[in-house]
Amino acid sequence: MKVLILSPKGRYDLYAPDCPSRREAELIFRDRTGTEEEWLAAGADAQVLVVTPVTHIRRELIGQMPNLRLIQCDGVGFDRIDLEAARQRGIYVCNNAGCNAGAVAELAVTLMSMLLHRTLWGDRMMKAGLHSQATQTLERNVPPDLSVSHVGLVGLGHIALATAQRLRVNGSRVSYYARHRRTAEEEAALGVSYLPLYELAEQCDVISLHLPATAESRHLLDREFFAHVKPGAFLVNTARGAIIDDDALCQAVRSGRIAGVALDAYEPEPAGADHPLVRLAAEFPDRIILCPHQGGVSQAAFRNAVRMVFENLDHILAGERPERVINGL
């Protein structure tokens, strides 16, 4: 079996488990930033294509790989893969749902705490030699913390569940919105309560996004959503940039409706200096935290991801159905 991998080779050398596919499959690595012509020259006859969540896999590329049986994303996101083109060919598309849940949840909660505690402002004050002034300001305007905050999770997948678990340890009240509500028994076991989207916006002190980028989630946070947001609320996005209407968010920040924002995802990516949210951060340096889509970059996440890739390679090698199929086959 031939496997074309458009992902860093060093990651696989470090974390690949000892399994049949690692021993028996021909693994060919190419740079994900290369051209389709380069990829096809190396592996047009491959049975498996492994890609990162930020790699565009177009219908045209799929059509030029006649032996393809599986497109495996080695992360969670899959919005840059032409799922329908693969489905029409009977090619499985799979992701690694849950592989980075702990890492992204850890970052999400960290960013919430940084916003609540005004960490960027405190850092700037200390570097300016204004320690006493900063202390006095905080004593006059004592910030809240997670133990007294109502946090709303938009989405309730693997990452949101890991986030909820960490928030409960902090004593936070946790609500969620999702297209499909959990049963009352599940909600009780998870320690979360359901709220419709706009009610969640109206009631929560912190809103944290945990949705994939789909047609249904695109610009879910639009002007109407921000009009319902509790004044002074904080927003954290460790999911996908397309969920937010950037113009609407900028307006909400400038008006003071949103007190602070922490972002680890953008539309498009990479986000350059001219991106509206990067410009917004320059305008409000104490209120906007920007991260380079680093939530899923951790040793544990990479180890889990590579293991899950090879589990599905083993299934294909054995003629079995892979796990976590996302394109309806």
Residues annotated as part of the active site:
240, 269, 293
Bridge-based pairing state of the strands 288-290 and 150-154: unpaired
Give the 3-state secondary structure of residue 91. coil
Strands of the 288-290 sheet, one edge to the other = 193-194, 173-177, 150-154, 206-209, 233-237, 258-263, 288-290
Residue reference for tokens 């969670």: 76
CA–CA distance, 69 with 98 (Å, rounded to integer) = 23
Residue reference for tokens 């079996």: 1
Among residues 217, 256, 251, 254, which one has the least CA distance to residue 233?
256
Q: Which two tokens stand for residue 87?
A: 């489905």
Q: H/E element holding 166?
A: helix 158-169
Q: Is 82 left (phi over 0), alpha (psi -120 to 50) or beta?
A: beta
